[in-house]
Structure 1
């Protein structure tokens, strides 16, 4: 039994470089998929609260927060009046451009398997992008469960009770660390190639 355990540990230790490449592929899949979805109205509508409330990003929109709350499309629906507002706000244009950036970063992770310099850049950009995304936990009111009051008040609202939007944002902790691991591995590979 001990021999099997040691063999398993040795296998895992020896395959770490391949697992880092799996991280690259996993990050690429997530980024390319989500980046591609940014071309669709429902995804563009979904990021409005984050962008509109962010001091780092709100300048990309033409309208001020929290005006967007009046023009929120229910997910899967498109109300003509709301679409017109989002077009005036620049919601769809910004979302498409953001999607292209995210797809480019995701593609860098795939290329990073073969080109360490590109992998380093992709890892660092993923780290920075994740920091910006995690800042939404501070700037976006919708990330915590609201106090709805009414007939069935609950004591589970506000911090630390994350809404669906908050849970989505919190997952970027994993992306942030993955970006650092990828940047670290790419740096190691660059240093090895410089020593040759």
Structure 2
């Protein structure tokens, strides 16, 4: 007996009590967290990727990229406009892989790997970017720039969830074709 079937059998024996438990089962049965996260990620990647391919988008990330030890080489090698175009194209590629991933989980898994690397790099910019935090009364707070960068820490977590989700889907698909 595999763990998925034993979990389902255990769940079938449990009678849900209380509205919050019924709500949690309803949300889980419809896989709403995945759908909200994936559609949100796709929209964000397409929108941000398109903006990075514009002059204001490229100029807006210069201070972030130029202070990053992990990616500043790209702007030095290619210049800010071509470098920003490449970042935007990477975001579009990941978004398209997530869309294809609905039908072909391996594509979603590749998209998740791309965004995990991408958001790991941009999460480090929270530390490497000057003025991402401000001092006030002896404590450092994230300012608007810091909060903007912090969303990439959350996006990194979403990307790791997608690796787990799509990885399981790929394994299930491979198990079905082997049977």
Place the TM-score, normalised by the shorter chain, in its bin: 0.7 to 0.9
* Structure with higher RCO (Cα < 8 A, 6+ apart): 1
Query: TM-score of the superposition, structure 1-length normalised?
Result: 0.73
* Pairwise CA distance, 1:141: 0.7
User: Where in structure 2 are the equivalents of 1:107-186 lying within 5 Å?
Assistant: 107-145=96-134, 156=136, 160-186=140-166
| Higher strand fraction (1 or 2) | 2
CA positional deviation for 1:5: 4.6
* Structure-1 separation of matches of 2:81 and 2:114: 23
Q: Distance in 1 between matches of 2:88 and 2:166?
A: 24
**Superposition TM-score, scaled by structure 2 size:** 0.80
Superposed displacement of residue 116, structure 1 = 0.6
Is the contact between residue 67 and residue 128 of structure 2 (CA under 8 Å) also seen in structure 1?
yes
Q: Deviations over 1:107-141 (max 9, x none)?
A: 11111111110111111211111110011122111
1:36-64 Cα deviation digits (max 9, x unpaired) = 0012222211111111111111122349x
What is the RMSD of the two structures over their aligned residues, measured on CA atoms?
2.2
CA shift for structure 1 position 157 = 7.8
Runs of 5+ consecutive residues of structure 1 not aligned to the other structure: 64-88, 146-154
More helix, by proportion: 2
Q: Which runs of 4+ in 1 moved over 3 A?
A: 2-7
* Aligned residues between the structures: 160
Q: For residues 58 and 121 of structure 1, do their structure 2 counterparts lie closer, same or farther at Cα, with a shift above 3 Å needed?
A: same
Consecutive unaligned residues of structure 2, counting only runs of 5 or more, are 1-16
